[in-house]
Structure 1
C-alpha cells in the first residue's frame, strides 16, 4: 500500500485511525458529507416495543434531544459500535448481528420475524434506505421513523487535492454509499483510470456493486463497517492486496 484515502466523517473512527498510525500506515481522510442535527418532531418513544438505532449519530442526537424511552424496551443496531454506544447511553441491552453487519443481517435475527401489532421506532437520519421499515411493516410491525439528523453534500473546495490523490493514493476505504456517490460526483472523467487502479475496501456486496469500474480482485469486502473489520482488512490482512 502506498497511501490510503479514508473517506469518512472527521473524528468518527478514532480507533481505526489510531491503529493505522500505530501500524505506520500512511493515510489521509476526507468526508463528502456534512452531518447536522435535526430536531425530531417525535420525542416520546415510551410506547415502543423495540427501537432500532441506525448509526452512532442517531444515538448521540437522540440522547442530546432527550428522547423518552420506556423502562423496558428491546433495542437493536446494525453494527457493534452503534450497539455498544446505545447500550451505554441508555443503560439498556442492545443487540446486533454477530458476524455480518448490515440491515439485511439485522433482519435475519429471530426476534425480528413475527412482529404483529408491535410498535417499532427507527431512529435515523432524514432519507436513506427504507429496507428496514418496509420489511418490518410486512412482518406486522407498526413503524415510526424518528429523524434526528440530516446528511448534506460537502463540496470539494480544493480541486487540486484530487491531483495529489491521483499521484499518491492507491487504496480507498469507504463505508457509505452516500459518501461514495458524492465522492465520484466531485471527480472529472480523467479520474476514472485512477479509480480503476485503486484497491477498494468496502463493507458489503451492495457497496461493491456500486463500483462497476473496478475488477473484483481490486475490491475487499469486509462484511462489516465496524472499526475492527476495517482494521483487519487494512492492517492485519494487508498483504492480501499490497
Structure 2
C-alpha cells in the first residue's frame, strides 16, 4: 500500500487524525481541508426539537460534528438524558455520544446509511404506533435515510446543527498541491466534500478526474461518476478502517 500518496479533504482536525493512521500503515498523505464546520445559531425550532426529544422513538446522529454540537445542546436542556434509543452511522460518531453516557447502537460493518437501515435494533425501534425519528445532521445530506424510514411508516424530522463551508484557497491551490506532492489518489468523506473538490478543481478537473477517488457511500460514488470521475472506489464508510480496506483493493496507485 505504500505506493499511495493521498489527498485528504476532511476538516483539519479529522484530516490530521486520519493522516496519523495512514502514516502508521506506511501511506503518505497531504491535507487540504475542503470542509469548514460552522455551528448554526440556536433557533426557536431547534430548541423545540431538543425539548421534545422524549417524543421520539429513535434519534439518529449522522456525523461527528452533529454529535459534538448535539451533545452540547442536550446538556443545556436535559440535565438528565431522556430514555430513548440513540443510533449513529459510524463507530467514531457513536464514541462521542457514548463518552456522554448515551446508549448508542451502530452497524458493526459499514458506516453508511444503508448499513444503519439494516440494523435490527433500528427496525425494532420504529415498530410501534406513529413512530417518530429525529435525525441530527448538518444542512442537507443523508436524504436516503429519511426516505427509507418514511417508507417504513416513520415520521422523520431533522435537527440541522451546522453548515459546511469551503475554506478560502487561491484558485490553483488544489492542482498545485497534487502536482507538487505527486499525489495519486483523492479522498472525500461526503457529498458536499466532493462538490467542494469539484468546485475548487475548476479547469483542472478533467485531469484530476483521472485520479482514483475514494468516497464513503454509493450516493457519493454516483455523484462523482456523474461529474466525470473515472475511477471511483466506494469505501462503504468514512472511517479510517474503511479507507484502509479499500486501499488494499485495486485500483493500483497512479504514479
TM > 0.5: yes
Which structure 2 residues correspond to residues 156-175 of structure 1 after superposition, within 5 A?
A: 156-157=169-170, 159-167=172-180, 168-175=182-189
The equivalent residue for 1:21 is 23
Runs (4+) of structure 1 exceeding 4 A deviation are: none
Task: Find the residue that maps to 2:209 and give its secondary structure.
Answer: helix
Q: Structure 1 pair 137/172, CA: closer, same or farther in 2 (3 Å)? A: same
Task: Find the residue that maps to 1:188 and give its secondary structure.
Answer: helix
Task: Find the residue that maps to 2:160 and give its secondary structure.
Answer: strand
Query: Any gaps of 5 or more consecutive residues in structure 1?
Result: none
Q: Does 1:58 align with 2:58?
A: no
The equivalent residue for 1:81 is 92
Q: Distance in 2 between matches of 1:184 and 1:93?
A: 38
Q: Does 1:184 align with 2:198?
A: yes
8 A Cα contact 2:8 2:15, kept in partner: no
Which structure 2 residues correspond to residues 144-155 of structure 1 after superposition, within 5 A?
A: 144-155=157-168
Query: Any gaps of 5 or more consecutive residues in structure 2?
Result: none
Q: Once the 2 structures are TM-superposed, how far is the Cα of residue 75 of structure 1 from its aligned partner?
A: 0.8
Q: Distance in 1 between matches of 2:238 and 2:85?
A: 23
Q: Distance in 2 between matches of 1:8 and 1:121?
A: 25
Q: Structure 1 pair 195/14, CA: closer, same or farther in 2 (3 Å)? A: same
Q: How many residue pairs end up in the alignment?
A: 236
**RMSD between aligned residues:** 2.4
Q: Does 1:124 align with 2:131?
A: no
Q: Once the 2 structures are TM-superposed, how far is the Cα of residue 130 of structure 1 from its aligned partner?
A: 2.5
Q: Distance in 2 between matches of 1:137 and 1:99?
A: 24
Q: Does 1:96 align with 2:109?
A: no
Q: Which is helix-richer, 1 or 2?
A: 2
The equivalent residue for 1:36 is 38
